[in-house]
Amino acid sequence: MNKALLYFIIFLLAACNKAEKKPSSVYFAGEIVNPTSEYVILYKGDVVLDTALLDKNNRFSFQLDSVAEGLHHFYHFPEEQYVYLEQGDSLQIRLNTVDFDESLVFSGTNEQVNNFLLEMFLANEQEEELIFKFYNLEPEEFILKIDSLKNTKLESLNSLSIEAELSDNAMEIARAGIIYNSFIFKEAYPFYHKRKMGEKSIHELPPDFYNYRTEVDYDSKGLSYYRPYYNFMKYHLNNLSYMDCKKGCGTQNKMTNNHLHFNQHKLKLIDSLIKQEELRDNLFRNVAMDYLLKYDKEENIDVFIEEFHHLSGNNKHMHEINRLYDGVRNLQPQKKLPELMVFDSEGNKVSITDIGKDKKVVFYFWSAPEKRHFTNIINRINLLKEKYPDYTFIGLNLRTEKSRWNNMLEVEHLDKSEQFWTEDFEDVAHKLIVYDLSRGIITNDGIIVNAFANVYTSF
């Protein structure tokens, strides 16, 4: 059937049924030009609602019986974007992965609010550079600039709400995107201004500088996965923790050099400020991941995790956090390297503890798809090999097909006795905590000397 005709009929049906209850089923579909994966995944928060396979015309569609009204997001590897959905919505998108966000267009019910949210997203991206310059300004001037950007956006939202019929919820989310984005810059200002201007201490602020904080909603369920809101919370907590510590704990050095102390402030603040469960869990998780990946000493991380369990014992991310905590603990100096099986170039399974036996070893990581990292690290390792002839430098390959890895050993003339292939990235990442490919693990006869060295800066 002719598409225009079909839409016309749907429109007529919708018009006839206007007085009746809206249907609850939701249709979300679209076309992806130059797809970079075969799938589109639809999320609500961190929950996958459904996965759709692209057809031969690169089209996908989701048909849902109902939705929880509000922000969702869809993911097409490696990018994602928001989509606002209400009961009964029928919404189409079109996008080209070459310019993912810039090319995205929504059409159908609720197209206005979705296109508006996207417009705001793009405007915020474009403004970043400009705002970075504003950090040089004195606080009064800075506020004027930031407020004027915010007000222009609020005005265009107002005109949209006159033209289009937006639900209260849609209006609320569009407004939140605008205001929380502008709040982020104000939370960041004292620190960015100090750094950019090279000032010794935090600039004195006018008494009304933080007045906008009275507008902050610490309890909004609908916004907990919305980036402007969530990012605002992170900046806000950093700011409050810093100010709290500065006021209550005296010496400033204490906190800049003491990750544990600073992060304890953050835990306490989240506990006292945030009641909404998802937001609370996510922010607690954020602090824990951030802190644990700074690889503090064992006695400190023990204190941290105890406090974490006390304040957020039923955190839904607990398993992930405990795993990371165990991982960091197992890699403390003087401990034995964890048991991990890897493959040599002949295809034999070997344990890394055997590789490290009776010698001093530096383990480093590389992955074939990360080309620049590969070139840099191999050059760096060659330098280190000359400088430290009593060490053996062992390359652990991650996330590469075995045949490709074997081929690279040949083509790049790598020493096969010093290169090993790993099969299960999850397992390696968990046991050796590989979040940063510049990591080096220094061992002596299989005993850890420093598992959190950096190949570029620690030697």
Which residues here bind Zn ion, judged by CB under 5 A? 245, 249
Residue number, 265 or 431, with CB nearest to Zn ion: 265
Closest contact distance (angstroms) between CB of 239 and Zn ion is 14
**Alpha carbon distances (Å) from 320 to 152, 277, 288:** 42, 17, 10
Residue number, 249 or 273, with CB nearest to Zn ion: 249
Angle at 314 between CA 311 and CA 318, to 5 degrees: 95
Closest contact distance (angstroms) between CB of 308 and Zn ion is 17
Q: Which amino acid is it at 106?
A: F
H or E stretch covering 276: none
The answer to whether residues 239 and 175 touch, using CB atoms and an 8 Å cutoff, is no
Residue number, 184 or 267, with CB nearest to Zn ion: 267
CB within 8 Å of 278: residues ≥ 6 apart: 45, 221, 224, 225
Q: Which residues pair with 63 in a beta bridge?
A: 27
Residue number, 202 or 409, with CB nearest to Zn ion: 202
Helices (H), 366-424: 371-387, 402-411
Q: Tokens representing 442?
A: 């220094």
Closest contact distance (angstroms) between CB of 49 and Zn ion is 42
Residue number, 240 or 361, with CB nearest to Zn ion: 240
CB within 8 Å of 25: residues ≥ 6 apart: 63, 64, 65, 66, 88
Closest contact distance (angstroms) between CB of 250 and Zn ion is 8
Residue number, 247 or 387, with CB nearest to Zn ion: 247
CB within 8 Å of 362: residues ≥ 6 apart: 384, 388, 391, 392, 393, 394, 440, 441, 442, 443, 453, 455
H or E stretch covering 37: none
Residue number, 57 or 257, with CB nearest to Zn ion: 257
* DSSP notation for 162-210: HHS---HHHHHHHHHHHHHHHHHHHHHHHHHHHHHHT-SSPPP--TTTT
Residue number, 249 or 311, with CB nearest to Zn ion: 249
Closest contact distance (angstroms) between CB of 312 and Zn ion is 20
Residue number, 154 or 249, with CB nearest to Zn ion: 249
Strand-pair category, 26-33 with 90-96 = parallel
Closest contact distance (angstroms) between CB of 295 and Zn ion is 21
Closest contact distance (angstroms) between CB of 263 and Zn ion is 10
Closest contact distance (angstroms) between CB of 246 and Zn ion is 8
Closest CA to 229 of 282, 290, 292: 282
The answer to whether residues 87 and 22 touch, using CB atoms and an 8 Å cutoff, is yes
Closest contact distance (angstroms) between CB of 266 and Zn ion is 10
